[in-house]
Amino acid sequence: MIYIAPSILAADYAALGDDVRKVAGADLLHVDIMDGHFVPNLSFGPDVTRAVDGVTEQFLDMHLMIEQPERWFETYAAAGGDRLVFHVEATADHLAAARQIRELGVQAGFALKPGTPLEPYLDGLDNFAEVMVMSVEPGFGGQKFMPEVLGKVLTLRQHIDERGLDTLIGIDGGIGAATIAQAAAAGVDAFVAGSAVFGADSPAEAVENLRRLATEARATVGRVGEP
């Protein structure tokens, strides 16, 4: 299945509830939490998360771009986060972090910066509901997609399929109508899109358009080389 995840980082904060309602047709919402340390930018925190959770039934995928994420798991689970995706670069023990998250009754995921290798994390994949491959340096919306990270997506797709896991592959950064097909063809399941959705005249139509493009391209996964 294809999941389109609008990133509210690109929404209008003075009318956040309205913008969230505009993308009610999206499969989940991507909530970027930045602490000004792990990334050189600040976004919002638990109070805004709770407010967003109050105006939608949608699944909240929390992208925690914060140092020592373990200190915040309980807070973001209580604020309405349905999946807590932390950065492996920010923790010494990603498997312990996954356990902590699951004990809170929510899903665990991890994210990888563009330059972070995937291999050390392949063994423990079965502990995670999502792996989020960053296709820009985390910290800001509106950056250019980095196609070189798709090698990690291909490796993940192969491992997940061979091992029969249900871990989702997410991609985050620079996803829009011009880039979503290549990510989908590499095997991505969940597509984060900030500026491509909230910068569009109709965010709802942008979501549908992205879903259509991803669905068409995803149908080609594994067929490369077939007659």
Residues with a catalytic annotation lie at 32, 172
Q: What is the DSSP string of 154-165?
A: HHHHHHHHHTT-
Q: Would you count residue 200 as binding ligand DX5 (CB under 6 A)? A: no
Stretch that binds ligand DX5, among 90-98, 121-129, 152-160, 194-202 (CB under 6 A): 194-202
Question: How many whole angstroms separate alpha carbon 225 and alpha carbon 110?
Answer: 32
Pick from 112, 131, 175, 217 the residue near ligand DX5 by CB under 6 A.
Answer: 175
Q: Tell whether residue 32 is among the known ligand binding residues.
A: yes
The one-letter code for the residue type at 217 is A
By CB under 6 A, residue 19 contacts ligand DX5: no
Among 63, 83, 113, 211, binds ligand DX5 (CB under 6 A): 63
In the complex, least distance from residue 225 CB atom to Zn ion, rounded to whole angstroms: 33
2, 4, 10, 171: which one contacts ligand DX5 (CB under 6 A)?
Answer: 10
| Cβ within 8 Å of residue 174, ≥6 positions away | 135, 136, 143, 144, 145, 146
Question: CA torsion sign, 102 to 42 to 135 to 194?
Answer: positive
Under rule CB under 6 A, residue 139 binds ligand DX5: yes
